[in-house]
Copies of this chain bind each other. A is one copy, B any other.
Amino acid sequence: MSKYWSNIVKEIKPYVPGEQPHNKKFIKLNTNENPYPPSINVISAIKNAANESLRLYPDPTCNELKEIVAQYYGLKKEHIFVGNGSDELLAFSFLAFFNPGDTIIFPDITYTFYEVYASLFRINYMTIPVDDNFNIPIEKFYGNNDGIIIANPNAPTGIAVHIDSIRNILEKNISKVVIIDEAYIDFGGESSVELLKEYPNILILHTLSKSRSLAGLRIGLALGNGDLIEGLNRVKNSINSYTVDRIALIGAEEAFKDKVYFEEVRAKIIFTRKAISKKLKELGFMVVDSKANFIFISHPKVHALQLFKKLKEYGVLVRHFNRPRIDNYLRVSIGTDEEMEYFYGVLKDLLRPSPNPAR
């Protein structure tokens, strides 16, 4: 605590991201990175873009990327905002659409960064408890709020919300902004992009960090109607005119162009998720039905924290959240088949009835 800090900085509890080990020997199943590399077209485009033009500022409007993304989703350029990862987009959205003193709502079990943004910008929030199976009670999001944010699929559970539920929420909150955080949408959920044409109050957030294997480049997208996008532009131009660099723009463009590779990668991850889920259930695990690139698991006999520690000891990093209702769960990113095989082997050994109880 420093006397030089502002009050909010004294009070705030910053978000704590998953561990990024400097020791590369770990199997990293803790930050939902993609186990497969980006498209080779991304790599070669970046190599080409490493040239003298780096002396110049990037295009602050991200025009070319917007054109490509617009075409991909069947939208117009005016519907798209480009940011430095979807976390930056969340921060900008909270500033752009919610006032200090407003009360926004989101599920009690969700991305924990939402409460940090709310605190930072002095926005009140109320959490809506998910049910015992982690399902979001949709009707509780009908009115009585100054804004809504829902992750779909939700994190860290992986549970997806049906598009009709999103439609109902939009309908019942037509004068408020409803943010749908679709960071994990490409792994089996149903995107709400088509609802943009019907509803002026939906803002959809995407990231290239997950399904497009570009966590290292920092690119997120916001999709919404023109005046919401303009609100985000106003925030950006009051903070940092150029948040996305030349290399990231070019990498993102190529990632969107290579649809074949994108489809291949996400199909592989979905396949691996199904396979590991089945095997873990056979080991007695409760496996939440995930539409994301991670699974949320719990075992009736061994506490999650114990599993976490054992996995780390064996070189596997997963995520444990020391929070009410979910402290006996682990969030495990979907790695390659080989990585999941090793992860499964560690758990299997651990859960095997020991011949020597003293051990």
User: Which residues of A approach B to under 8 Å, CB–CB?
Assistant: 2-9, 12, 14-17, 20, 22, 28, 31, 33-38, 42-44, 46-47, 50-60, 63, 84-85, 87-88, 91, 95-99, 116-117, 119-120, 175-177, 200-201, 209, 213-218, 227-228, 230-231, 233-248, 251
Contacts and interface: CB of A to CB of B under 8 A. Distances in A.
Which of A16, A54, A214, A247 counts the most chain B CB atoms within 10 A? Answer: A54
A56 B215 contact: yes
B216 A54 contact: yes
Given A97-B5, A234-B9, A216 B56 contact: yes
Contact of A54 (B84, B117, B243, B251): B251
A248 B216 CA distance: 10
A3 B233 CA distance: 16
A5 to B, nearest CB: 5
A173 to B, nearest CB: 11
Contacts of A51: 37, 43
Nearest to A98: B6
A65 to B, nearest CB: 14
A99 B5 CA distance: 9
A120 B216 contact: no
B238 A116 contact: yes
A42 B227 CA distance: 40
Contacts of A33: 55-57
Contacts of A84: 84, 240, 243
Given A2-B231, A215-B56, A117 B46 contact: no
Nearest to A220: B240
Contacts of A56: 28, 33, 215-216
21 contacts: A2-B228, A3-B175, A4-B228, A4-B231, A5-B234, A6-B99, A7-B99, A9-B96, A17-B241, A22-B59, A37-B54, A47-B50, A50-B50, A54-B251, A55-B215, A57-B209, A84-B240, A84-B243, A85-B242, A120-B238, A247-B247
Contacts of A9: 95-97, 231, 234-235
A26 B227 CA distance: 32
B5 A96 contact: yes
A340 B244 CA distance: 30
Nearest to A226: B2
Contacts of A54: 37-38, 42-43, 46, 213-217, 251
A58 B227 contact: no
Contacts of A15: 237-238, 241
Nearest to A8: B95
Task: Please indicate which of the listed interface residues A3, A5, A51, A119 has the most CB atoms of chain B within 10 Å of its own CB.
Answer: A5
Listed from nearest, the 8 A-B pairs whose CB atoms lie closest are: A37-B52, A14-B237, A2-B227, A46-B50, A216-B246, A54-B216, A55-B213, A17-B241
A178 to B, nearest CB: 10
Contacts of A235: 9, 120
A97 B3 CA distance: 9
Contact of A245 (B20, B31, B95, B217): B217
